[in-house]
A = this chain, B = another copy of it.
Amino acid sequence: MRVALLGCGTVGSALVEMVADPARAAEIELAAGVRLEIVGIAVRNARADRAAPRELLTEDAKGLVERDDVDVVVELIGGLDPARELLEAALNAGKPVVTGNKALLARVGGELADLASARGVDLLYEAAVASAIPVIRPLRESLAGERIVRVMGIVNGTTNFVLSQMSRGSTYDEALAEAQQLGLAEADPSADVGGSDAAAKAAILASLAFGADVVVDDVHCEGITEVTDADVRYAAQLGYVIKPLAIAERVGKGSAISVRVHPAVVPSEHPLASVGGEFNAVFIEGERAGEMMLYGKGAGGDAAASAVLGDLIVAARHLSQGVSTPPASRRANVEIVPVDQLSSPFYLSMDVFDRPGVLASVAAVMGDHGVSIRWMEQKGLGDEARLIFLTHVAKEGDVAATVAELGRLDVVDHIGAVLRVVGSEASGPSPGA
């Protein structure tokens, strides 16, 4: 099977190396039933030095996709353009596509899937979420008979690393700098720490879990930048950890779902709590199958290349049989519930001026909005005091109104983290509870 590779960065280079290794090539041939051969590699600058064989390099990606001797296209360019046009050209030409392009899938995954289905060819993307951890195929096939209630993923290794380091005593800035030194974070980390990388993955997971066309704009997205090392410490004292989560879940009994990305306070005995460092995990709750977790390395060129290679082998098997992966089930209408209609327990921290009666004022505002306090601690900070609250289940809208009004109180100097508590029995959101 002759493969066109679009993009030759970390993952592409690892793939080229894996396919070229003779021992592995023999194993691949055994697994795929055909020999894989990379016949062209599209790059932006064909004269730049790289490990790939120079004679395979081209700057004409479109021409490569359309070459008659190309059977399957692997897209590792990322981004929307020109990736979208190239993938459409490949699918229109009846060529299976393997991609790890989460940004593209989270915008036009539904259209691309329809096109692949219409042409009867594979569109496979195991590498797009949680790298080599099998997540896409289990959701699409193994759990096809399961009514999935909730998917919660730690799908961004950078933010998980940063929060994990903060739980060991680093500040946010120190942890981020360390992630950058280790190559776990970009020089511009905003897509990671702001949550947009995880939001794309949340859209893909939600689409698969609920048979819907969820796009990234449907995803409520909050980054980890408001979380302080003090919050991480307080949470630990209370038996919780703060984790960067992508959540897709049913709300109520109908077809309504919520899809969101935010840091969350998770009980330390929850399986997701022990997923540390740059590791990824996807926790799935099924109506019948119960709780499951798929866990592993979420980053690195080798792991992603392994996921791409697994998809390539499936595409090769299918192509030789003249078939393709059946389309995932799709529902006509899935309602996305706005986040302000959800409810959960909350963690709140705020700094107040240490005067008599301040706690009474704060508690009165919370009570006025129906936000019930489950637990409170006050810590002295010289002239100020820090108040830490855990609330009972409260409506998002009520909490937002509380925070807005507290911000207008003279005695409140600064509102810190406002974090949802998830993963305990009582914390499951319900519509307007």
B-binding residues in A (CB < 8 A): 14, 18, 24, 27-28, 30-33, 126, 131-134, 136-138, 141-147, 211, 271, 274, 286, 288-297, 300, 302-303, 305-314, 317-318, 321-323, 326, 328-331
Contact = CB atoms under 8 A, between A and B. Distances in A.
A246 to B, nearest CB: 18
A306 B289 contact: yes
A314 B137 CA distance: 12
Given A144-B32, A321-B326, A295 B297 contact: no
Nearest to A23: B147
A24 B147 contact: yes
24 contacts: A14-B288, A31-B211, A31-B328, A31-B329, A32-B144, A132-B286, A136-B142, A137-B141, A138-B142, A142-B310, A145-B306, A145-B307, A145-B313, A286-B306, A288-B303, A288-B305, A289-B297, A289-B306, A290-B302, A291-B296, A291-B297, A292-B295, A293-B293, A321-B326
Given A14-B288, A132-B289, A134-B142, 12 more contacts: A30-B211, A133-B292, A141-B310, A141-B314, A145-B310, A145-B313, A288-B306, A289-B302, A289-B306, A290-B297, A293-B293, A317-B326
A271 B133 CA distance: 15
Contacts of A293: 293-296
Given A289-B307, A294-B294, A306-B288, A134 B145 contact: no
Task: Name the residue among A14, A146, A312, A326 with the largest chain B CB count within 10 angstroms.
Answer: A146
Given A132-B290, A292-B294, A293-B296, A147 B27 contact: yes
Contacts of A307: 142, 145, 289
A308 B289 CA distance: 11
Contacts of A18: 145, 288
Number of copies: 2
B296 A143 contact: no
Task: Name the residue among A133, A211, A300, A331 with the largest chain B CB count within 10 angstroms.
Answer: A133
Nearest to A146: B306
Contacts of A24: 147
A144 B296 CA distance: 17
A112 B14 CA distance: 37
A303 B289 contact: yes
Given A274-B274, A317-B326, A323-B321, A145 B288 contact: no
Nearest to A27: B147
A314 B144 contact: yes
A33 B138 CA distance: 18
A28 B147 CA distance: 10
A310 B137 CA distance: 12
Contacts of A300: 290
A100 B310 CA distance: 25
* Closest 4 A/B residue pairs (Cβ): A145-B309, A132-B289, A292-B296, A134-B142
A322 to B, nearest CB: 8
A322 B40 CA distance: 33
A138 B139 CA distance: 11
